[in-house]
Chains A and B, each alone.
Chain A
Amino acid sequence: MIQTTPVQVMDGADVRRAISRIAHEISERHHGAENLVLIGIHTRGVPIAEGIARAISEFEDVHVPVGELDVGFYRDDLDQRPTTRLGRTLLPVDVTNEIVVLVDDVLYTGRTIRAALDAISDLGRPAAVELAVLVDRGHRQLPIRADYVGKNLPTSLQERVTVRVEAMDQEQGVWIERPQP
């Protein structure tokens, strides 16, 4: 059996700063926050999206709507694993002609984002879709890249990346679990 020891690579303050930076980058690129909708991908994309929205509203004085998206029905490996538990999908506004920023905790193979893009296109026709992630750990299997990245984290395929956020886990940070021989 392989032993793993988690190593913390971002602490709570690092995460907070990263979220704040992403919020600034988004409002910079769009000259404000008009027509923006943040959509968090279940599970930890949702509180991160809420954090970004909160940060934007602090310096733009605009309320940015936040939606939730569960991509369970769009996954390309559904026939390989039975699925029973799903998060809710809830969009506070019609996304058609809005600028959607998808938010997730870790960008890895890109398959979740592919599923999310399919899901979004079933829910409306946004003017544009962008992607914000707290951590990009590499190893993409699809031509997908993030527009906003909290931290680039080079990893090996054997490693596991764990994100915890205050709103959900009572602690905040990013850990890497390295398999030990």
Chain B
Amino acid sequence: MADLDRAGIEELLDLADHFTEVLERDIPKVPALRGATVATLFFETSTRTRLSFEKAAKALSADVLNFNPSGSSLSKGESLKDTVLTVQAMGVDVMVVRHQAVGAPARVASWVDCPVINAGDGAHQHPTQALLDALTLRRRFGKLDGLRIAIVGDIRNSRVARSNIDAFTALGAGVTLVAPPTLLPLEVDSYPVATSTDLDSILGELDVLYLLRVQLERGSGPVLPSLPEYVARFGLDRRRFGLLDKDAVVMHPGPMNRGIEIATDVADDPRALITEQVGNGVAARMAVMFRLLSGRGQP
């Protein structure tokens, strides 16, 4: 995400705006990428992101190949490089790669001839998430300039946070990271953000409260005393929701842990944009694929 400047992001957001219109049609599909093949390679499982990419590709009339590493040749010991070269040999025009290791999509891109879309790599980046979040905010507020956004949760281990910090600040928003000290990024002074460990004290000043998923599967381990203590300090319950400005919105990249980072009634409030984010995710991914693949047959 950091490689895109403001103009580059806005170009993709403009394209995505067109696709949100396409997705509202009776036949939510255009023939723009007819004949192109999109391969999704999710070495780390993620149902929703893969579905979103698949829907985006199909709405552009591209064919989709889904590579599922469990039960594949990977479990038989095939290397990552051999796997992607095999998929390439089948004839694909773009690969969408999700991997648990930082830099894996970039590494794959160095081996194959087609463009590669990073669908999330380790704790590094998740650029299409940042794009869909920026799209959601732009559609809500018109622009991001001057918006006051707090990102709350396990920022240290979050690719969503890293991409969103880049995108939100590039588009002119002010970002505050809110987390206990063990979940804030190290050397946080080098980030273009403010930080806080006291959520209540800043709620009233926010336009956007962006909650990150508490990664239950990683366990609280040594970084959190306990989950209830986290919820007490950083969970968005009805009381804290009431401290927000009446025009402020709540976002979450999903999947949500209801009752942990977000109370269930807050999650269902109209000012929680979570389902809009999902819808915009398809448009944002359409924009990225369209941008990469229009003109692909040029000599």
List the A side residues contacting B31 at CB < 8 Å: 73-74, 118
In-complex Cβ contact of B297 among A80, A123, A124 (8 A): A80
Q: Is B298 an interface residue (CB 8 A)?
A: yes
Interface digits, B284-299 against A, CB 8 Å rule (1 contact, 0 not)? 0000001101111110
Q: Are A83 and B294 in contact (CB under 8 A)?
A: yes
Contacts A83-B290, A84-B291 given; does A73 touch B32 at CB 8 Å = yes
Please give the distance in Å from B177's CB to the nearest CB on chain A.
33
Q: List 15 A-B contacts (CB under 8 A).
A: A70-B18, A72-B32, A73-B18, A73-B290, A78-B295, A79-B298, A80-B297, A80-B298, A82-B294, A82-B298, A85-B14, A88-B18, A122-B25, A122-B27, A123-B27
With A88-B18, A89-B18, A122-B25 as given contacts, are A79 and B30 in contact (CB-CB < 8 Å)? no
Determine the main DSSP class of B at the interface with A. Answer: loop
B31 (CB) vs chain A CBs: closest residue: A74
Q: Flag whether A168 is at the interface (Cβ < 8 A).
A: no
Query: Residues 12-30 of chain B: 1 if any A CB is under 8 Å from the residue's CB, otherwise 0?
Result: 0011001001100111011
On chain A, the residues within 8 Å of B297 by CB distance are: 79-80
**Can you list, as one digit per residue, whether each of A63-106 has a CB less than 8 Å from chain B (1) or not (0)?**
00000001011100011111111101110000000000000000
**Contact with B15, one of A79, A81, A84, A119 (Cβ below 8 angstroms):** A84
Contacts A73-B30, A84-B291, A88-B18; A79 near B25 (Cβ below 8 A): no
User: Would A122 and B29 count as touching, CB distance under 8 A?
Assistant: yes
Give A72 to B296 CA distance when docked, in angstroms: 15
Q: Which residues of A contact B21 (CB under 8 A)?
A: 88-90
Contact B26–A123 (Cβ < 8 Å): yes
Measured between alpha carbons, how far is A77 from B294 in the docked complex, in Å? 9
Q: Inside 8 A of A80's CB, which chain B residues have their CB?
A: 295, 297-298
| Interface members, chain B 16-74 (any A CB < 8 Å) | 18, 21-22, 25-27, 29-33, 35-36, 60
On chain B, the residues within 8 Å of A84 by CB distance are 11, 15, 291
Chain B residue numbers with a CB within 8 Å of A81 are 294-295, 298
Check B32 against A78 for contact (C-beta < 8 Å): yes
Nearest-neighbour CB distance to chain B for A152, whole angstroms, equals 31
Interchain nearest-CB distance for B206 vs A (Å): 32
How far apart are the CA atoms of A49 and B26 in the complex, in Å?
Answer: 24
B193 to chain A, nearest CB (A): 30
Q: Is the CB of A74 within 8 A of B298?
A: no
Give 7 closest A-B pairs by Cβ, nearest first: A82-B295, A79-B297, A73-B30, A73-B32, A83-B294, A122-B27, A78-B294
Q: Which residues of the partner chain B approach A85 to less than 8 Å between Cβ atoms? A: 14
CB nearest neighbor in A for B35: A79
Min CB distance, B58 to chain A, in Å?
A: 14
Q: Which residues in A have their C-beta under 8 angstroms from that of B29?
A: 122
Task: Name the interface residues of B177-203: CB closer than 8 Å to any CB of A.
Answer: none
Which residues from chain B contact A88 at a C-beta distance below 8 Å?
18, 21
Q: Given that A79-B35, A83-B290, A88-B21 are contacting pairs, would A122 and B30 also be in contact in the complex, using a CB cutoff of 8 Å?
A: yes
Contact, CB under 8 Å: A79 / B295? yes
For the complex formed, measure the closest distance between the CB of A126 and the CB atoms of chain B, giving whole angstroms.
13
Distance to closest chain B CB from A46 (angstroms):
15
A83 and B26 contact, CB distance less than 8 A: no
Q: Contact at B27–A74, with CB atoms within 8 Å?
A: no
Q: Given A73-B22, A74-B30, A118-B31, is A79 in contact with B290 using a C-beta cutoff of 8 Å? A: no
Residues of A within 8 A of B294 (CB): 78-79, 81-83
Contact between chains at A79 and B26 (CB < 8 Å): no
